[in-house]
């Protein structure tokens, strides 16, 4: 998250202010959407001077970008905790855990339905506002950043496949899951359960079959 800030908070008080501003940003996104979000209101609710806001964030988009990065960091922590607790027998089972945590955050995390990992969704399930597909990185699309971060989790599992095949497969899986889950939340405010189950099956089978076939030691 700190890499998206104008400057890194050096004191505990400053770090707490940044977190309060991100919290209020998330709450306001939930209440009024992206168009209704203003830097002035975020600063007022966070009880910080507007000048302090601009010490850390260049503008509204910079604030939302930092929130998206925090969302991604928290998502990955939740998935990591689930992996530790579940001890999946195979790396491909990571997809179910990741989808479960994403859906849970969509349902319970303030502002996550509007901004999850960068894209701004004016209505549940999109379409996203034009130009918000590069919120996490100026070169890579948001989905590519998410795929890279998930690859780091897969790297900790002993039976993973390696090489470019894994990178491509994770990118495709992220894109596919994103599309189906958008449909699930367009269909029902809490996410259509049947579509979520179909998303899990689609991604799980794709990863298991595609990457097993691509492994150098495959028969």
Separation of alpha carbons 22 and 69, rounded Å:
11
Q: Is 93 exposed, middle or buried (0-12, 13-18, 19+ CB in 10 A)?
A: middle
180-197 per-position pLDDT tens digit: 999 999 999 999 999 999
> Average of pLDDT values for 36-50?
97
Contact yes or no for 202/124 (Cβ under 8 A): no
Percentage of the chain modeled with pLDDT above 70? 85
The dihedrals phi and psi of 83, each to the nearest 5 degrees, come to: -60, -45
Domains for the chain: give ranges and CATH numbers. Answer: 61-214 (1.10.357.10)
Comparing CA positions, the residue from 177, 213, 191, 185 lying closest to residue 79 is 177
> Average of pLDDT values for 34-62?
95
Q: Which sign does the torsion angle of CA 1, 85, 94, 112 carry?
A: negative
The dihedrals phi and psi of 113, each to the nearest 5 degrees, come to: -70, -20
2-21 per-position pLDDT tens digit: 356 756 666 788 899 999 99
Tell me the pTM: 0.89
């Amino acid at each position: 998250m700190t890499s998206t800030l104008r400057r890194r908070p050096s004191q505990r008080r400053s770090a707490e202010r940044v977190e309060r501003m991100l919290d209020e940003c998330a709450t306001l996104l939930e209440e009024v959407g992206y168009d209704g979000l203003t830097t002035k209101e975020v600063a007022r609710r966070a009880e910080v001077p507007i000048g302090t806001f601009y010490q850390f964030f260049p503008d509204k988009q910079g604030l939302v970008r930092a929130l998206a990065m925090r969302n991604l960091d928290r998502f990955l922590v939740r998935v990591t905790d689930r992996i530790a607790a579940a001890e999946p027998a195979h790396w491909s089972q990571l997809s179910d855990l990741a989808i479960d945590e994403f859906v849970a955050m969509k349902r319970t995390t303030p502002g996550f339905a509007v901004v999850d990992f960068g894209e701004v969704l004016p209505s549940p399930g999109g379409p996203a506002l034009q130009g918000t597909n590069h919120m996490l990185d100026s070169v890579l699309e948001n989905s590519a950043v998410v795929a890279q971060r998930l690859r780091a989790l897969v790297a900790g599992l002993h039976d993973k496949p390696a090489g470019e095949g894994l990178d491509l497969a994770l990118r495709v899986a992220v894109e596919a899951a994103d599309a189906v889950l958008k449909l699930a939340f367009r269909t029902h405010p809490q996410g259509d359960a049947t579509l979520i189950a179909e998303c899990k099956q689609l991604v799980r089978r794709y990863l298991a079959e595609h990457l097993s076939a691509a492994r150098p030691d495959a028969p």
